[in-house]
């Protein structure tokens, strides 16, 4: 429901929204300075008080609007009732996606915020005016789709010919005469890194070796990315001969298997960490790593810690979590946690806006419309008009959320779950928890918060 109409101020507060994508930087009339000058002139001419500039540079209108930082900052100011009107030069600066347009328009209506384009005229007060906006947005969206297809075709052609599609190359490779070749200065570093990992099986060890031998500052995440990059065996986008290989394909594939074996923590000692890959630090968002301790004459203890805190000192969460304690907590609380999650999801779904029209009925109308045209019962003009109207109705209506597969989760937990669990070995327990839980987030007090698989 829209808020009560705010009293119209003597001077309306205007937000100037400016957006330009990378490929539009050089186009006349689309540059940032040109847009800014045009909007300032319009605001001054119409007596608006400029309260903010919101400039998204290098952002496409087809990208999700949440990725536009300045746009999101502007929407926060709209919700805080700091803005009365938003100015931008053309509709395609705003959106090229009908669905996103309606989501934002709902927020603007709720806060009684208007918008105007300085180089185009739109009427949002009448049905025909809104239909015209819908058609323009649909056309713009179609143009973007066609451009995307053309760009994709060009890129695929370049990849097939072994030509680079970006100027940025991974360590060890460089561009020369439009071909990707080994960089004689850095390719030996890549070879040494792969060789060290092949012999020792440790990304951290390979990182420390390279940093000490070649006076570099690589991080473990970078090392893992290098070890998994198929360009080092010459493969890119299904072209196995895209570039000159630094690592022979057979050796590269062998190292991928080595990495895969390490990723599930099944190391040379045969130890399996049940919650490997599931525990996430709520402080920094990084995954916990497993380790063990074996006091003399006592049983082994499996522990988890935030590697970002313990190794790199970039996180304040230095607590360890005992695997056995986490197992017991899960066995006692998994059913209540799932019950709570299901209740929260169903409550949120009940609050979600329901479709005002039957989408299936609209689809049937579209099918009948096609039959009418094929049988010469309506003209092409009538067909296009009704086709556009029905499609816009489909696009405007929110989709009902798809519920998670609660039945499958409850089926796993039904019966004597704890007794069955006690009969499983460590590998089976690890696979079981991965089938139920997507991640387990731990805060600074090591309080678990479950994210179930959908």
Active-site residue, 67 included: no
d(CA 252, CA 250): 5
Q: 117 and 159 in contact (C-beta within 8 Å)?
A: no
Q: Which residue has the tokens 């890119």?
A: 236
Please identify which of the residues 21, 31, 138, 202 carries the catalytic annotation.
21
3-state SS of the chain is CCCCCCCCCCCCEEEEEEEECHHHCCCCCCCHHHHHHHHHHHHHHCCCEEEEEEEEECCCCCCCHHHCHHHHHHHHHHHCCCCCEEEECCHHHHCCCHHHHHHHHHHHHHCCCEEEECCCCCCCCCHHHHHHHHHHHHHHHHHHHHHHHHHHHHHHHHHHCCCCCCCCCCCCEEEECCEEEECCCCHHHHHHHHHHHHHHCCHHHHHHHHHHHCCCCCCHHHHHHHHHCHHHHCCECCECCCCCCCCCHHHHHHHHHHHHHHHCCCCCCCCCCCCCCCEEECCCCCEEEEEEECCCCCCCEEEEEEHHHHCCCCCCCCCEEEHHHHHHHHHHHHHHHHHHHHHHHHHHHHHCCCCCCCHHHHHHHHHHHHHHHHCCCCCHHHHHHHHHHHHHHHHHCCCCCCCCCHHHHHHHHCCCHHHHHHCCCHHHHHHHHHHHEEEEEECCCCCEEEEECC
Q: How many CA atoms lie within 13 A of 143 on its CB side?
A: 10
Q: 452 and 437 in contact (C-beta within 8 Å)?
A: yes
For CA atoms 370, 375, 377, 380, give the dihedral sign: positive
Distance of CA 178 to the CA centre of its chain: 32
Active site residues: 21
């Amino acid at each position: 429901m829209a808020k009560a109409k705010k009293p119209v101020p003597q001077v309306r507060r205007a937000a100037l929204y400016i957006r330009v994508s990378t490929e539009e930087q050089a186009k006349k009339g689309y540059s940032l300075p040109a847009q800014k000058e045009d909007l300032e002139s319009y605001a001054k001419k119409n007596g608006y008080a400029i309260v903010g500039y919101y400039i998204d540079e290098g952002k496409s209108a087809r990208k999700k609007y949440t990725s536009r930082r300045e746009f999101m900052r502007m929407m926060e100011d709209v919700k805080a009732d700091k803005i009365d009107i938003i100015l931008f030069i053309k509709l395609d600066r705003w959106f090229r996606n009908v669905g996103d347009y309606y989501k934002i328009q709902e927020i603007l209506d709720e806060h009684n915020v208007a918008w105007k384009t300085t180089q185009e005229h739109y009427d949002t007060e009448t049905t025909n005016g809104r239909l015209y906006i819908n058609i323009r947005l649909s056309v713009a969206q179609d143009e973007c789709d066609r451009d995307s297809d053309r760009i994709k075709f060009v890129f695929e052609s370049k990849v097939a010919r072994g030509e680079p599609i970006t100027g940025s190359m991974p360590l060890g490779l460089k561009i020369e005469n439009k071909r990707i070749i080994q960089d004689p200065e850095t390719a030996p570093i890549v070879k040494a890194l792969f060789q060290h990992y092949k012999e020792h099986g440790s990304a951290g060890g390979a990182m420390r070796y390279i940093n000490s031998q070649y006076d570099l500052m690589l991080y473990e995440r970078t090392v893992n990315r290098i070890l998994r990059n198929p360009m080092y065996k010459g493969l890119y986008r299904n072209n196995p001969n895209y570039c000159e290989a630094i690592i022979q394909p057979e050796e590269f594939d062998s190292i991928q298997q080595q990495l895969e074996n390490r990723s599930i923590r099944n190391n040379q000692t045969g130890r399996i960490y049940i919650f490997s890959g599931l525990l996430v630090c709520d402080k920094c968002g990084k995954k916990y790593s497993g380790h063990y301790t074996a006091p003399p004459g006592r049983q082994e203890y499996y522990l988890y810690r935030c590697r970002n805190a313990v190794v790199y000192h970039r996180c304040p969460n230095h607590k360890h979590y005992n695997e056995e304690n986490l197992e017991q907590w899960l066995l006692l609380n998994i059913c209540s946690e799932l019950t709570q999650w299901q209740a929260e999801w169903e409550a949120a779904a009940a609050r979600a806006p329901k479709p005002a029209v039957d989408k299936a009925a609209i689809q049937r109308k579209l099918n009948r419309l096609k039959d009418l045209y094929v049988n010469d019962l309506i003209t092409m003009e009538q067909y296009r008009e009704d086709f556009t109207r029905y499609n816009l109705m489909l696009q405007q209506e929110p989709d009902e959320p798809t519920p998670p597969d609660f039945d499958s989760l409850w089926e796993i937990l039904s019966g004597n779950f704890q007794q069955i669990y006690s009969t499983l070995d460590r590998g089976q327990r690890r696979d079981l928890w991965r089938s139920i839980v997507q991640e387990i987030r731990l805060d600074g007090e090591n309080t678990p918060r479950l994210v179930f698989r959908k």
